[in-house]
Amino acid sequence: MTDFRVQQEQLWNQWAAHYNEEHQARDPAPAADFLASLADGGTALELAVGTGRIALALADRGVKVTGLDTSPAMLEELHRHRGGRPVETQLGDMAELDTGGQRFPLIYVAFSSFFFLMTQQRQAACLARVTRTLTPGGRFVIEATVPRAPGLLAGRQQLAIRDLTDTHLALSAHTHNPIDQTIHFQEIRFDQSGTRLLPVTLRYVHLSELDLLAAAAGLTLTDQYADWHHTPLDVTSTQHISVYTPTGEPA
């Protein structure tokens, strides 16, 4: 049986040295502004914190952030860029979130990282632990792709050109299994120094399924947006930012 935590650790260890360069166009400021406004009491927990793209920007806004991740190499990158910022890290699996009794007014998981839990069971387990780790009235924020066709889900296989110059070619290849809602990617880079493979594997969750999983974990949806600027979600949205709060007992 696949150990999904180990699988993700191995994949993201391969990304670590390249992650910040690959995602340098993604400005973390809107996410950090959005999250800082919810971090009542000044602490936050990021699940799947990675290299700290958002956590470091949130810390710059005066929030003390704890970041959980399963990849030691990604966390090493975070520490290399942390400077004196108040960001602590914990190595672990978000399906088995355990903060030793510490609770947070804000827990968030960004950039579709909730999908890296890989099974519905692990996604449900994560949400149950989130509920237990929030302070009463706290907020859980999830940023994720809206699964939709045409696009990633349109076919069983796709190959796309991401970037093409005289010296560089970036391709993205993926296979899609609509039965278990999994997508396996390779981001492929060719340049004069050689070839690089950057793998991603995920289980996407439809919005209605997420609401149901959240309700089962004792979380209720309070707000939903299309982006970190609070743009209302509509049928054209490709991402969603969903905000949940604990309702008491799991359903």
Ligand X SMILES: C[S@@+](CC[C@H](N)C(=O)[O-])C[C@H]1O[C@@H](n2cnc3c(N)ncnc32)[C@H](O)[C@@H]1O
Q: Tokens at residue 90, please?
A: 């914990």
- Please, what is the angle between helix 4-22 and helix 72-81, to 10°? 30
| Min separation Cβ 145 and ligand X, Å | 11
Q: How many residues bind ligand X (CB under 6 A)?
A: 21
| Min separation Cβ 5 and ligand X, Å | 5
Using the rule CB under 6 A, give the single segment among 45-53, 129-137, 204-212, 230-238 that binds ligand X.
45-53
Q: Tokens at residue 16, please?
A: 């670590």
Task: Please identify which residue in 70, 89, 201, 245 interacts with ligand X, judged by CB under 6 A.
Answer: 70
Q: Are 122 and 95 in contact (CB under 8 A)?
A: yes
Kindly state the DSSP code that residue 55 receives in the 8-state scheme. Answer: H
Torsion over CA: 238, 210, 124, 54 (sign): positive
Task: Please identify which residue in 34, 104, 111, 140 interacts with ligand X, judged by CB under 6 A.
Answer: 111
Three-state SS at 180 = coil
Residue 11 vs 220, nearer CB to ligand X = 11
Q: For 142, phi and psi rounded to 5 degrees? A: -125, 130
Task: Please identify which residue in 95, 130, 219, 243 interacts with ligand X, judged by CB under 6 A.
Answer: 95
Q: Tokens at residue 249, please?
A: 């007992």
Q: Is 123 in the site for ligand X (CB under 6 A)?
A: no
Q: Is 68 in the site for ligand X (CB under 6 A)?
A: yes
Q: Is 93 in the site for ligand X (CB under 6 A)?
A: yes
Using the rule CB under 6 A, give the single segment among 66-74, 151-159, 224-232, 241-249 that binds ligand X.
66-74
| Min separation Cβ 160 and ligand X, Å | 18
**Cα separation of the two ends of the chain:** 30
Three-state SS at 172 = strand
Residues forming the site for ligand X (CB under 6 A): 5, 8, 12, 48-50, 53-54, 68-71, 74, 93-95, 110-111, 113, 116-117
